[in-house]
Amino acid sequence: MYAHVGHLVTLIEKDKENNVVLVQQACRPGLLSKSPEVVEWSCRFFSKLAFEFTNRNLMPLAWDWFISEHGGMQGCLMGLKRHPLLAESVISVLVQYARYDMVELFTIHLKNVCPDSTEQIQMMMSLFKPLTESSFTKEEVITFTLDL
């Protein structure tokens, strides 16, 4: 599927209102796999899918699914709990979906996915290092932490 994401998105565009959510939800179990290799490839797939969605103006529909209950963000974070060494792969998905709004992702949507404040802090700590090492998110993370 990874190799054919472009073609898949072309098919999704034919009925985007239904297909954007359907395809993402159908692929979400890969993020929850017991196999780290499956989770890593799922992260690659979702990153590439989000990139294509952005290029084809489908990201608003994809974003709504991503932040929804039992959506992609929750799947990514559950996969990260199971496989802590895959933080960089999970970050790539979060970055592609959140783009330039990482602050909203961590201030609003993380609270919805992790209602327990201790769990929120643990999740942020596991993601903090990879986020600061990414040239794409480094400045936004530093600004966010200075504002705290």
The confidence score (pLDDT) of residue 67 equals: 93
Query: What's the domain range around 7?
Result: 2-147
- The answer to whether 43 and 93 have CB atoms below 8 angstroms apart is yes
- pLDDT at position 145 is 57
Nearest to 50 by CA among 83, 9, 109: 9
Question: How far is Cα of residue 146 from the mean position of the Cα atoms in its chain?
Answer: 24
| The predicted structure's pLDDT at residue 116 | 81
CB of 147 closer than 8 Å to CB of 102: no
Task: Specify the number of domains making up the chain.
Answer: 1
pLDDT profile of the chain (148 residues), mean per 10: 95 94 97 97 97 95 94 94 92 88 79 80 78 63 56
Q: Structure pTM? A: 0.83
Using CA atoms, how far apart are residues 133 and 14, in angstroms rounded to an integer? 38
* Residue 70 to residue 11: CA distance in whole angstroms: 24
Q: What is the pLDDT of residue 119?
A: 82
pLDDT value at position 124? 79
Q: Is 120 in contact with 113 (CB distance < 8 Å)?
A: no
User: Cα(21)–Cα(16) distance, rounded to whole angstroms?
Assistant: 8
